[in-house]
Amino acid sequence: MKLDRKQLFIAGIIVVIAVALGIQGYLQMAVRAPTEEPVDGLLHVYVDDVFIANVAPADALALEAHEFTDAEEGVAQAGPRLDELVLLYVDSSRLRDESKITVSGSRKGADKTASVTWAEAIDISNNIILDVSSSGDSLKLVSTLPRMDVRAEWVQGINRIDVTTKP
């Protein structure tokens, strides 16, 4: 079977599109390379007091979204689970049930932190997720964990995540 120029041209375009889509998919799935120092406006990830990465909120939101409805106002909260973000930067073999994750944020001049153990973070019933803030410009830590299940306990404007593998 012999292909004419038109068929070859169409086949070539299909190959180029397939390659472009493959590259785009790879880049979307690839973890952003950590930089050498924290950059304002990004989430700073530290592991055992060592700076590891800057994470753009949009990159965090590219992870699979999970959802729950908060009991306080009956509003859906959705975003990636905290443990899934942590696993992008920390090998699971370094984490123990008692390893600690501390999330810090600042919203309207109020600084806040919340800490969870690795065991709490991986328990899907706790719904520990990163949700987009109501302003849409930052992330907030939300959960159904009893000590973090109302808005007053959530961490708004997340700017730092500290992972302590051996507390």
Tell me the CATH number at 86.
3.90.420.10
Domain assignment of residue 129, yes or no: yes
Per-residue pLDDT of the chain (167 residues; tens, 9 = 90+): 676 888 777 877 887 787 767 666 655 554 454 567 899 889 999 999 999 999 998 889 899 999 999 999 999 999 999 999 999 999 999 999 999 999 999 988 889 999 999 999 999 999 999 998 877 778 999 999 999 999 999 999 999 999 999 97
Task: Specify if 96 maps to a domain.
Answer: yes
Beta strand segments in 48-109, E? 50-55, 66-69, 76-79, 100-107
The verdict on residue 37 lying in a domain is no
Instruction: Kindly report the pTM of this predicted structure.
Output: 0.77
How much is the pLDDT for 1? 61
Same domain, 26 and 54: no
Structural domain boundaries, residue 47? 43-164
Domain count, the chain: 2
Q: Is 48 left (phi over 0), alpha (psi -120 to 50) or beta?
A: left
Among 33, 48, 45, 65, smallest CA distance to 132 is for: 65
Give, in order, the Cα–Cα distances in Å from 104 to each of 20, 25, 34, 111, 155.
Answer: 38, 31, 19, 7, 7
Measured CA to CA, the distance from residue 127 to residue 142 in angstroms comes to 8
Is 61 a member of any domain?
A: yes
Tokens of 138: 């930052």
Q: Within this chain, do residues 111 and 136 fall inside the same structural domain, yes or no?
A: yes
